[in-house]
Amino acid sequence: MILPLTRKAGGIRIKSPQELELMRSAGRIVAEVHVRMREMVQPGVTTADLDAAAEKIIRGYGAIPIFVGYPNAKEGGPVFPATLCTSINDELVHGIPSRQRVLMDGDLVSIDVGVLYKGYVGDSGWTYPVGVVNGEAQRLLEVTEGSLWAGIAAAKAGNRFIDVTRAVQDYSESQGFSVVREYTSHGVGRKMHEEPQILNYVPERSEAARMYPAMNRKLAPGMTFALEPMVNAGTWRTQLHDDQWTVSTADGRLSAHFEHTIAISNGEAEVLTKL
């Protein structure tokens, strides 16, 4: 589940060692769901099958699937009805699992998992190939995952948020793809979406200073974020479906999405949702 672009920045909470320990536990549950998803994804499986399996694992730990009932970005819009977001091919995020959506050979399916465990959130999305995918789809998977790891490599204490943003954008665009601008990475902790929004593209300097003052702030040990580049084969522009949740590329071309929850430490960032 992804934060739509808004125009604000506020306080960034530093987590205590005890809080980080709880976030590691939440992250391990999310990772275990992904291990199961990777096994299950194949032609003929429905996205409702994936959703049921994920919910069972999460509830088995006494954790809560945190996407269920999540409010719509649009006032009065429908709440999110499922455990997972499952988004196929040109859909980039927030697809709703359904018995009618059957995975087919050659599809890409993005599976986003969020859990709340003992008051703390783990959030990770991964895009999986269904059967054998074509060359462009394979390259899109590699580049999107690469852009996530480029962002994680830049997520060090002392660096600024804009350094993480730039690393994500530079890597994906240098490979000939575009990075989605209308949805962002985000702080995470007691809530799924905490400050700050972390853009995946570098805005104009004047716009950045006015709208995203946090972008020039420095990362510090104990901050926790969900980094989640969404990378498109064609345009970065997106469109919202009539269900008020599913987001697709505006040109109908493929999209991929990779996300980890990470904690800033004194050296490399710690990945809390590692598979």
Q: List interacting residues with Mg ion (CB under 5 A).
A: 112, 123, 125, 226, 259
Q: Which is nearer to Mg ion, 146 or 187 (CB)?
A: 187
* In the block, residue with structure tokens 């054998």: 132
Helices 47-60/17-40 angle, 10° precision:
140
Task: Return d(Cα 120, Cα 273) in angstroms, integer.
Answer: 13
**Nearest approach, Cβ of residue 176 and Mg ion (Å):** 25
**From CA 27, how far away is CA 121, in angstroms rounded?**
8
Nearer to Mg ion, 123 or 163 (CB): 123
* Least distance in angstroms from the C-beta of 200 to Mg ion: 12
Cβ distance to Mg ion smaller for residue 114 or 146: 114
What is the closest distance, in whole angstroms, from the C-beta atom of residue 26 to Mg ion in the complex? 12
* Residue closest to 197 by CA, chosen among 238, 227, 157, 240: 227
Compute the least distance from the CB of residue 93 to Mg ion, in Å.
Answer: 8
Tokens for 76, please give them: 């009065």
Three-state DSSP class for residue 86: strand
Smallest distance, Å, CB 85 to Mg ion? 7
Contacting residues for 254 by C-beta, under 8 A, at least 6 apart:
89, 90, 108, 136, 137, 140, 232, 233
Select 176 or 226, whichever has its Cβ closest to Mg ion. Answer: 226
Nearest CA-CA partner of 73 in 13, 8, 3: 3
Q: For Mg ion, give the closer residue by CB, 122 or 146.
A: 122
